[in-house]
């Protein structure tokens, strides 16, 4: 159990640092949602399934979608084949 | 100067977390209020999921304010985003796989979202989580077919009716001489689908409101033109 928590925390820390370092905005967004996903697994281990569901649905799912749409609108994420 | 203040902030944060870890072991249950609620919640509220009995019965007013915050945020988002301009460039058409996948996912997500909302008083989950899943269920077809729009009148109608329903259930308790948002109706058997009095009704209202709000916000965000 301790080892699992340690692995999750290390993954979360690494992806949190990756958010700062990555040049590609979409890749940074993916790393950001990994932090939320790790946090939701951590909540399950701490026996808080309600909070874990909220974190997985809102933190990893909805807020990533919101950020992606905002990137699209701001022109920071361009689709291929579009001028 | 900025570096110094950042370092000071980090030092303070580290000290704070270290102090918390000194007094509280990782994963241990510290607060006494939780144990007190665990002891009486099943009898007083009748919901098998004690989190729900806290969210909707003991702290129902907080949930109403939470909904208000979400409503304000969604309204502000709609206000800032405004209407899409005519002749705005559209996203390119998506492929067959994405469209078929969206068609496949829509009923699945709908069922999962409704299940989580309706079983909010029995199993983990509830109006907020199920509402978010409902919102994504209605948003995925829009993602797969750029150019389709959502009827915002219907969305805001559902949202308004659900919010009004939540407050109305709260006011009905006041008619009986109780306090605002006191759970009504028969508690029923602990763990049955029709139990916990008016809590499932409240969660249905919360789920519909959250789902409609977030779906409307996402649709509005994707309808406005992208800058290329």
**A74: closest CA among A32, A29, A18, A35?**
A29
> Which chain B residues have a beta carbon less than 8 Å from that of A81?
92
pLDDT for B87 equals 59
Taking residues B169-185, what's their average pLDDT?
Answer: 79
User: For residue B160, what pLDDT is reported?
Assistant: 87
Q: Which residue on chain A is closest to B29 by alpha carbon?
A: A46
Q: Residue A33: its chain B contacts at CB < 8 A?
A: none
Which residues of chain B have a Cβ shorter than 8 Å from any chain A Cβ?
26-27, 49, 51, 89, 91-92, 116, 124-126, 128-129, 132-133, 135-136, 139, 214, 217-218, 221-222, 224-228
**Interface predicted TM-score (ipTM) over 0.85:** no
Cβ within 8 Å, pair A66-B218:
yes
- Is A53 within 8 Å of chain B by CB? yes
A83 pLDDT band (50/70/90 cuts)?
A: very low
Q: Choose the mutation target among A25, A36, A50 for the interface with B, i.e. most B CBs under 10 Å.
A: A50
Positive or negative, the CA dihedral B193, B199, B201, B203 is negative
pTM: 0.81
Average pLDDT value for residue range B143-156 = 80
When the pLDDT of each residue in chain B is averaged and rounded to a whole number, the result is 82
Which of the two residues, B189 and A83, has the higher pLDDT score?
B189
Instruction: Say which DSSP state B70 is in.
Output: H
The pLDDT value recorded for residue B86 is 59
pLDDT range class, residue B27, cuts 50, 70, 90: low
What integer pLDDT is reported at residue B190 of this predicted model?
Answer: 73
Nearest neighbour of B224 by CB, restricted to A58, A61, A73: A73
Q: How confident is the model at residue A34 (pLDDT cuts 50, 70, 90)?
A: very high
How far is the C-alpha of A19 from the C-alpha of A39, rounded, in Å? 16
- Render pLDDT for B66-108 as a digit per residue (tens, 0 to 9): 889 988 988 888 888 766 665 556 667 778 888 898 889 999 9
Query: Does the CA dihedral B93-B96-B99-B102 come out positive or negative?
Result: negative
A76 vs B: CB within 8 A: no
pLDDT of residue A35: 93
């Amino acid at each position: 159990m301790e080892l699992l928590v340690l692995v999750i925390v290390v993954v979360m820390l690494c992806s949190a640092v990756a958010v700062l370092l990555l040049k590609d905005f979409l890749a940074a967004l993916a790393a950001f949602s990994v932090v939320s996903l790790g946090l939701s697994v951590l909540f399950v281990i701490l026996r808080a399934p309600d909070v874990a569901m909220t974190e997985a649905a809102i933190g990893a799912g909805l807020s990533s979608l919101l950020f992606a749409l905002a990137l699209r609108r701001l022109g920071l994420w361009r689709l291929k084949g579009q001028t | 100067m900025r570096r110094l203040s950042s370092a000071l902030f980090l030092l303070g944060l580290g000290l704070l977390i270290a102090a918390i870890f000194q007094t509280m072991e990782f994963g241990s249950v510290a607060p006494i209020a939780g144990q007190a609620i665990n002891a009486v919640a099943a009898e007083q509220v009748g919901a098998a999921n004690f989190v729900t009995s806290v969210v909707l019965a003991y702290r129902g007013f907080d949930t109403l304010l939470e909904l208000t915050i979400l409503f304000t945020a969604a309204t502000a988002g709609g206000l800032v985003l405004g209407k899409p301009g005519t002749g705005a460039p559209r996203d390119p058409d998506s492929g067959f796989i994405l469209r078929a996948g969206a068609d496949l996912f829509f009923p699945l997500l709908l069922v999962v979202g409704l299940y989580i909302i309706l079983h909010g008083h029995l199993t983990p989950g509830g109006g907020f989580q199920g509402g978010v899943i409902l919102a994504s269920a209605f948003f995925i077809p829009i993602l797969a077919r750029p150019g389709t729009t959502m009827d915002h009148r219907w969305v805001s109608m559902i949202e308004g009716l659900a919010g009004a329903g939540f407050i109305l259930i709260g006011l009905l308790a006041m008619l009986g001489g109780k306090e605002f948002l006191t759970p009504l109706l028969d508690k029923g058997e602990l763990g049955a689908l029709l139990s916990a009095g008016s809590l499932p009704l409240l969660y249905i209202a919360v789920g519909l409101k959250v789902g409609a709000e977030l779906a409307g916000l996402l649709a509005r965000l994707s309808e406005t033109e992208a800058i290329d």
